[in-house]
Amino acid sequence: MAGQILDGKKISAEILAELHSRIAALKRPPALAVVLVGDNPASQIYVRNKIKACHDLGIRSIEIRPPGDISTEALLTQLTPLANDHTVDGILVQMPLPPQINTERIMKFVVDPSRDVDGFSPASLGLLVANKPGPRACTPAGVMEILKRYQIPIAGKHAVVVGRSDIVGKPMALMLLHENATVTICHSRTPDLAAQCRQADILVAAIGRPALLNENHIKPGAVVVDVGMNRLTDANTVQQLFAHDQARMASFLKNGSVLVGDVAPHPMQLLSSYYTPVPGGVGPLTIAILMANTVQLAEQHA
């Protein structure tokens, strides 16, 4: 029996709908500043979606778009008014920054912990480790919302997180741990990755490698959460992964590319009890949680 889809679009719409009354209760609209350096196409799409979500909710958005060749010093000068503007509730610096910029200096200067809407600062991560309230990293917090709203049991389950990044893998493991899962973190140096993954009642893939996990990695009946988002352009690879899916093959022939997660889609659908599709699974939650974090910070500032 094929697994049931965990519909991220549906959960995202629920979260955004719940924010309207909280925003209406504030004396002024929440404000989110977005800093996008240069013209990375993927970053531009992310930022456009974030700005649209702000407008749809009535959150004030401030866009700062310096050129891609700007120096660290010039960027700090340009961001000084933003750092001193206390009507701004959250500040988001879109990653990655160009290589000539000292990312640590920029983040330290702009994002004090009370405006860390992404939940990436050392202070926010410390609050997560201690299980104290604070802004949470958006993608893993979105995964937790999917699991909770579909009433998938977490306590006492064995969760395996594949990937150890500071923005997904590590915070994901901590959030599952706080919900009383037994958590294993795997990564590129883990020996016999498939054997570790097959222990998982809840398998979270966040390693950034297209379709790395396959039928050898999935215990039948596991809940599979695929955080990956990889664009494929090779016809042979697409044929191998999507031969079962005529709609995706047609999309590839039309557009020349197709999105795939970190888990091979067909085995995931066949073996899991529940799974997040790519696209339409975890992705929509990231922006919904960003909006929720912005509102939460505005409430604290009020």
* Residues annotated as part of the active site: 50, 94, 118
Burial group, residue 246, by CB count within 10 angstroms (0-12, 13-18, 19+): exposed
> In angstroms, rounded to a whole number, what is the distance separating the alpha carbons of residues 280 and 5?
10
**Residue 230 corresponds to which tokens in the numbers above?**
């990889």
Strand partners, 90: 32
Query: Are 23 and 30 within 8 A, CB to CB?
Result: yes
Vertex 55: Cα angle to 225 and 81 (nearest 5) = 100
Is omega for the bond preceding 279 within 30 degrees of 0, making it cis?
A: yes
Cα–Cα distances in Å, from 187 out to 180, 191, 209, 220, 226?
22, 9, 11, 22, 15
> In angstroms, rounded to a whole number, what is the distance separating the alpha carbons of residues 26 and 72?
36
Q: Note every long-range contact of 217-223, with CB atoms under 8 Å and residues 24 or more positions apart, other chains counting.
A: 217/193, 217/263, 218/263, 218/267, 218/268, 218/271, 218/272, 219/271, 220/271, 221/271, 221/272, 221/273, 222/271, 222/272, 222/273, 223/6, 223/147, 223/152, 223/272, 223/273, 223/274, 223/275
Tell me which residue has tokens 């009354």. 21
> In angstroms, rounded to a whole number, what is the distance separating the alpha carbons of residues 164 and 237?
26
Spatial CA neighbour of 162 closest among 119, 218, 120: 218
